[in-house]
Amino acid sequence: MGCGCLIGSGFRAGAGTQAGGVYRMVSPDRIQLDWPDMILTSRWLEWDYKRKEMYAVLTFENAQFYNRVEWHEERTYRVRFPGVQYDQAKRFFFVVGQKNRIFPIAHRVEGGWSSRLVTTPNARVRVKKRRGTVEVTLEAAAYPLSKAGMIQFGQMKGEWVF
């Protein structure tokens, strides 16, 4: 049995690329899945107030592949997005691009007993899985990347967007 783990890279904290009004940051954390065919079943964003970092929390499982020989496996990983900042007064998360351009990333939505982070219409998180290795990218643009309120969660050739 393999061991799902995070694999760090030499990524410089807070670094992102900006071209044509689009900001793109690949998380420095890579995920190596136990089984290459695991699927993403749950995802959300969270903010660590102590470290002042944003994370994508991803849960993968082999639910559609297990049988009497293989057992059900579910693994949850946290990948960082260094450089994301939080404006507590306005309650939104952002990154600063070239020429001090601010790209909103997410905002906090209150609901009942808890709150959650929701990406803004001009931002998205892209999860790519290739041969059991997962790369997570945060993208933001000066224009909407999705229709407001639209849920964009679905797999397409080992790629998910939320």
pTM of the predicted model over 0.85: no
- DSSP notation for 93-143: EEEE-GGG-EEEEEEEEEETTEEEEEE-TTEEEEEEEETTEEEEEEEEESS
How far is it, in rounded angstroms, from Cα 48 to Cα 40?
22
Could you count the other beta carbons within 10 Å of the beta carbon of residue 98?
A: 10
55-110 pLDDT, tens digit per residue, is 999 999 876 655 655 667 889 999 999 999 999 888 899 999 888 889 999 998 87
| Bigger pLDDT: 98 vs 54 | 54
CA distances from 153 to 10, 133, 160 (A): 29, 19, 6
Could you count the other beta carbons within 10 Å of the beta carbon of residue 123?
A: 24
